[in-house]
Amino acid sequence: MISCLSLSSYSFCEKIALKKYRRCVKRGCIKRPQVVSGAKKDGFGLRVFVLSDLHTDYPENMAWVRSLSTKRHEKDVLLVAGDVAEMYDNFILTMSLLKERFEYVFFVPGNHDLWCRWETEDFDSLEKLNKLLDACKQLGVETNPAVIDGLGIIPLFSWYHESFDREDDIVGVRIPSLDMACKDFHACKWPGNLSNRDTSLALYFDLMNEKNQNTVKQIQSTCSQIITFSHFVPRQELCPEKRMLFYPKLPKIIGSDWLEDRIRSIHGVESSSFACHVFGHTHFCWDAVVDGIRYVQAPLAYPRERKRRMNGGETWLPFCIYLDGEFGAKVMPCYWSDYYAINPRTPSNTELAPWVARFYNLI
């Protein structure tokens, strides 16, 4: 169970800031700042950093956010690829802290952001989504496409669907069902016409992007460099093969075909070195080019994963993806994408990797 921060765990100043934010929202006196070009830092060009899966309901992760410099990134852009916090108050605090440190912050929601287990108000996950998006507007966090210094930045809403997984299943092993392993099936509350058990959610979230189509077309016509970002995974190749995973059914709850189609409609079918998509969700560091698009994941992840260095640690985060008109070099500790850079993907091989076999007591 997630160890959630209560209001008593905030500092005195943070309590005052949170109460002030709530009062200003009620009074309607917080105005949304306009995103404009011109983000410069001491003569250097625009810098764009990426980060996903902050999970600041964990005190250690909230402490990490607090530890970020209030000076180093004051003219920079941060793309937050979902799973900020389950608790609404923790979400507000986290995004407030990030907005204090970065000039521009962009956000797309993840599945944990829409959990409704511990909220004091009675609302479903769509109502919570709207509540989070309204909070972002009040805080000056962008959830819509924008252009900064000639760089197009396009957030993409998405959700997963089970049919995204087309690779051979692992058989002969008792693997927990999706209902048992994935808390989304219980922690999210959807209206009757939406369900995790079909494609309805993936379609619903993808259609949310349609309202920005005119802006996207303008960005396509004016920007030679574009970064798109989502929480969920657009291609199955961006996840290790099932035999490598402690939970081999993971690919059924990570990605969307409609997301990849939308990414290709923005960047082009063949794409170029000027196209990049950032994602999150799986907590696997990733940096690879697939069919002409660079795909990057830079997760903070859970404290236990950082202690085991499953995400490469935390000292390299947030990751700078773009600097002074160019996409940054690959410097992340990406075990799995590095592995597949030199080893072919063989999804038809369903023999469990030794560490997985040991986990299921097969060897």
Report the CATH number at residue 98. Answer: 3.60.21
Region of poorest pLDDT, from 38-47, 146-155, 282-291: 38-47
Residue 49 near residue 102, CB atoms below 8 Å: yes
Portion of the chain with pLDDT greater than 70, in percent: 86
Q: What values do phi and psi take at 289, rounded to 5?
A: -105, 125
Strands 151-155 and 225-229: parallel
SS3 168: coil
**Residue 340 located in a structural domain:** yes
Query: Nearest 10 degrees: CA dihedral of 223, 229, 234, 235?
Result: 80
Region of poorest pLDDT, from 35-39, 96-100, 202-206, 233-237: 35-39
pLDDT of amino acid 23:
56
Strand partners, 219: none
H/E stretch holding 202 reads: helix 200-207
Residue 148 near residue 104, CB atoms below 8 Å: yes
Comparison of pLDDT for 303 and 30, the residue scoring more: 303
pLDDT of amino acid 2:
33
**Residue 296 located in a structural domain:** yes
Burial of 65 (0-12, 13-18, 19+ CB in 10 A): buried
**Residue 229 located in a structural domain:** yes
The parent domain of residue 212 ranges over 45-356
**Residue 155 located in a structural domain:** yes
> Which of 209, 241, 227 shows the shortest CA–CA distance to 277?
227
> Which of 97, 116, 123, 139 shows the shortest CA–CA distance to 10?
97
Residue 85 predicted with pLDDT over 80? yes
Portion of the chain with pLDDT greater than 90, in percent: 77
pLDDT of amino acid 33:
34
Average pLDDT in the chain: 88
Residue 68 predicted with pLDDT over 90? yes
**Beta strands of 89-195 (E only): which ranges?**
104-107, 146-148, 151-155
pTM to 2 decimal places = 0.88
**Residue 26 located in a structural domain:** no
Residue 256 near residue 187, CB atoms below 8 Å: no
**Residue 110 located in a structural domain:** yes
Strand partners, 323: 47, 326
**Beta strands of the chain (E only): which ranges?**
47-51, 77-80, 104-107, 146-148, 151-155, 225-229, 275-279, 286-290, 293-297, 319-323, 326-327
Residue 356 near residue 175, CB atoms below 8 Å: no
Average pLDDT over residues 41-60: 88
With bands split at pLDDT 50, 70 and 90, how would you rate the model's confidence at 34? very low
With bands split at pLDDT 50, 70 and 90, how would you rate the model's confidence at 330? confident
Residue 333 predicted with pLDDT over 50? yes
**Residue 363 located in a structural domain:** no
pLDDT of amino acid 332:
77
Instruction: Please report how many Cα atoms fall inside a 13 Å half-sphere around the Cα of residue 49, on the Cβ side.
Output: 21
Q: How many domains are contained in the chain? A: 1
Residue 13 predicted with pLDDT over 60? no
**Residue 310 located in a structural domain:** yes
